[in-house]
Amino acid sequence: MIPAMSSINDAREVARRRLPHVIYEFIIGGAEDEQALRANLHAFQRLTLRPRVLVDVSVRDLSVSVFGTRIALPVMIAPTGLARLAGREGDIAGARAAGRNKTIFTLSCMSSHTIEEVAHASSGPLWFQVYLWRHREVVESLVVRAKAAGFQALVVTVDVPINGKRERDLRNGFVVPPRPTLHTAVDILRHPRWVLTLRPPITFKNLAPAASPQQTIAHAKYFNEVLSNPAATWREIDWLRDLWQGPIIVKGILTPEAAEEAVAHGVDGIIVSNHGGRQLDAAPASLDALRDVAEAVHGRVELFLDGGVRRGSDVIKAAALGAKACLIGRPWLYGLASGGEDGVVRILEILREEIDRTFILLGRRSFTDLDRSVVGSSRNGEELAHATPHQR
Ligand SMILES: Cc1cc2nc3c(=O)[nH]c(=O)nc-3n(C[C@H](O)[C@H](O)[C@H](O)COP(=O)(O)O)c2cc1C
């Protein structure tokens, strides 16, 4: 039985109660002053939707096509490392829930289940996410395994040349592999049910010994000293192109210039993202960046957005500004913390119901019915209707 939850905010509240503070703050936190994190949410709230009235909206279609795969709603699951921190079934629950909702689950290379376990458990389409780490051979072996396991697309996250400064984690003493320390023991022991998730131990299950934490270490220190590669360039994308024949999607693009480079390097898709406000704190909100990127890309690659999507109406706003689909990071972890696989299913259902209701109230029948004229601004009433037809 999952608790009654009628919004993503409700699910976040359940997660807050169920998780130790150190874990909850690892999930909700952003970098430094959390400006980018807040900006993501505000960007959606600043926009209004301009309803059409007295149109027949008795039949609606929420599905979209992503690289030729039809998904039932344009909400996909974003890659999040160490998902088992939020709930025992971790990535398996997420992949199954996505499959039940006929949408895509993206597995992080920092996952706490293996590539093969998730592929085996899942019934729906899967994407696999990698970072451009300093150990090329580690990245290569992950990509080869994901291909063999039948993952459909490769997501390459490019906004982590170094870990963002997440001060909640520093204050709380968040370490990997996650285990109680002197600093966190009392907090953790106050959540006896959560303690069960620590068996078997939560580790980066895909990583070879060379890339695994050798002892308990602060998360950021591990990332910066063992994995990340500030020397990575667009050449790495060319290298991956030779290894991976399916779609390559670059995640973490926020400017038209970077989008142009991505297109020039032959990627198939772009996720406009500021990593949920966890990296460059002065980054623009993903939704604000989307407009410019959509104009620059002009339909040459498929565009997606993540960061701050908490309502069905957010998905509609992003679609009107050019995103084919959105990804959710924290919301799926709230669902996992609230009720495992069923909790994640509930999150996707909430968003589906909200999208459907918003379509009716908005006088629209499907995502092909949207363009920029749907969106207005609540700040000064200035409308964006001048813009070109939808670029999805
Ligand atoms: C706990 C957590 C772990 C994450 N781990 C990864 C990761 O391993 N790889 C990655 O590309 N992005 C990672 N992200 C970023 C998400 O993929 C996504 O960009 C972000 O969460 C979207 O914002 P939202 O949480 O507001 O939906 C992580 C985010 C969170 C909250």
DSSP letters for 254-277: -SHHHHHHHHHTT-SEEEE--GGG
Q: Is residue 256 scored above 70 in pLDDT? A: yes
**pLDDT, mean of residues 197-224:** 86
The residue type of 17 is R
CA 52 to ligand 1 center in whole angstroms? 35
Active-site annotation holds for 42: no
- Give dist(CA 226, CA 212) in Å, integer: 8
The per-residue pLDDT for 379 is: 57
The per-residue pLDDT for 133 is: 94
Pocket of ligand 1 (CB under 6 A): 27, 40, 78-81, 108, 110, 129, 157, 251, 273, 275-276, 306-309, 328-330
User: Which residue has a Cα nearest atom 11 of ligand 1?
Assistant: 157
The per-residue pLDDT for 96 is: 98
What is the tens place of the pLDDT at every residue in 9-18? 999 999 999 9
**pLDDT, mean of residues 174-195:** 89
Q: Is residue 271 scored above 60 in pLDDT? A: yes
Q: Is residue 209 scored above 80 in pLDDT? A: no
**pLDDT, mean of residues 289-310:** 98
**Confidence band (pLDDT; 50, 70, 90) for 215?**
confident
**pLDDT, mean of residues 60-76:** 98
Extract the tokens encoding 209.
Answer: 């010994």
**367 — phi, psi (to 5°)?**
-70, -20
For all residues of the chain together, what is the average pLDDT? 94
The per-residue pLDDT for 81 is: 97
**Confidence band (pLDDT; 50, 70, 90) for 219?**
confident
| DSSP run (H or E) holding 167 | helix 167-172
How many Cα atoms sit within 13 Å of 111 on the Cβ side? Answer: 28
Q: Is residue 117 scored above 60 in pLDDT? A: yes
User: Which residue has a Cα nearest atom 4 of ligand 1?
Assistant: 80
- For residue 156, the tally of other CB atoms under 10 A from its CB is 24
The per-residue pLDDT for 210 is: 75
Handedness of CA 32, 33, 35, 38 (dihedral sign): positive
Whether this prediction's pTM lies above 0.85 is answered by yes
User: Which atom number of ligand 1 is nearest to the Cα of residue 307?
Assistant: 23
The residue type of 316 is I
Q: Is residue 24 scored above 90 in pLDDT? A: yes
Dihedral Cα 67, 71, 75, 76, nearest 10 deg: -60
Q: Let me know: does 159 contact 252? Beta carbons within 8 Å.
A: yes
**pLDDT, mean of residues 135-139:** 93
| Burial bucket for residue 214 (CB in 10 Å: 0-12, 13-18, 19+) | exposed
**pLDDT, mean of residues 227-253:** 97
Handedness of CA 40, 158, 244, 109 (dihedral sign): negative
Length of the chain: 392
Q: Is residue 388 scored above 70 in pLDDT? A: no
